[in-house]
Amino acid sequence: MIEDELTLFDKSINEFGNKFKNTLSDVPCHMVGPRDAYKDSIKALSEKLSVKLKEEERMVEMYMEYQNLVCRQNKLIQEKKDNLLKLIAEVKSKKQELEDLKEEYSRKKETISTANKANEERLKKLQKSAHLYKDRLGLEIRKIHGDKLQFIFTGIDPKHPESPFMFSLRLNEAREYEVSDSAPHLERLAEFQENVRKTNNFSAFLANVRKAFTAMVYN
């Protein structure tokens, strides 16, 4: 746009010069000098103005480049700021998740500890009662591998009083009785297990198991 204005300006100067030249074509010789000086001054002014306009045009271009650079830098700064805020939010979220996991682990650890203590107490009570069962039922209780108790009955077979009749018992994670490894094998062992879970009557459970072993011998 500036070049167009400059071209129009040059055209106007030239038209003005031509008209002025035609008008003064018959002027006396003593007017020729001032006329030529005027034309030279107009030409010099035009060239100076042209240089000035080009300098201003270059300044405008530099300003626009600077503005574009500033815009790009601002955009990069905003993107970095957004990424930083997103990272901070993710860190806070992960930190909260970690705190939640710690709390959950602490609760589970406390629950497991409580359950283990309860199981230990129940096993201790069973072991303390071992001498009573041994005297009345010919029963010996041993602690074996896997946190199990082994129950060994004797005096069941009249022909072989010392012959052992046994089964194993433990408390599972749900704190329920879990009976296994009967020798000789009892078909009703699962039934006895279900009954003691429902009634929690352990003495009746032991009596029923002994009766089942005794019935096996006499049958």
CATH number where 189 lies = 3.30.457.50
The values of phi and psi at residue 138, to 5°, are 60, 45
When pLDDT is cut at 50, 70 and 90, the band that residue 179 belongs to is very high
- The boundaries of the domain holding residue 203 are 124-218
- Region for 110 from its dihedrals, namely left if φ exceeds 0, alpha if ψ lies in -120 to 50, beta otherwise: alpha
Average pLDDT, the chain: 82
Residue 118 forms part of a structural domain: no
Give dist(CA 152, CA 115) in Å, integer.
26
Cis check for the bond before 184: say yes or no (omega within 30 of 0): yes
Residue 34 forms part of a structural domain: no
pLDDT (0 to 100) of residue 131: 65
pLDDT (0 to 100) of residue 84: 85
pLDDT (mean) for 26-47: 68
Question: Residue 180: pLDDT above 60?
Answer: yes
Q: Give the percent of the chain with pLDDT over 70.
A: 80
Residue 67 forms part of a structural domain: no
Residue 113 forms part of a structural domain: no
- pLDDT tens figures, 4-29: 666 776 677 777 767 766 665 555 55
Give dist(CA 195, CA 205) in Å, integer.
8
Give dist(CA 66, CA 73) in Å, integer.
10
Residue 88 forms part of a structural domain: no
Residue 19 forms part of a structural domain: no
pLDDT (0 to 100) of residue 3: 60
Q: What total of structural domains would you count in the chain? A: 1
Residue 146 forms part of a structural domain: yes
Q: DSSP letters along 127-185, please? A: HHTHHHHHHHH-EEEEEETTTEEEEEE-S-BTTBTT--EEEEEEE-TTS-EEEEEEES-
pTM value > 0.75:
no
- pLDDT tens figures, 49-96: 888 888 888 888 888 888 888 889 888 888 888 888 888 888 888 888
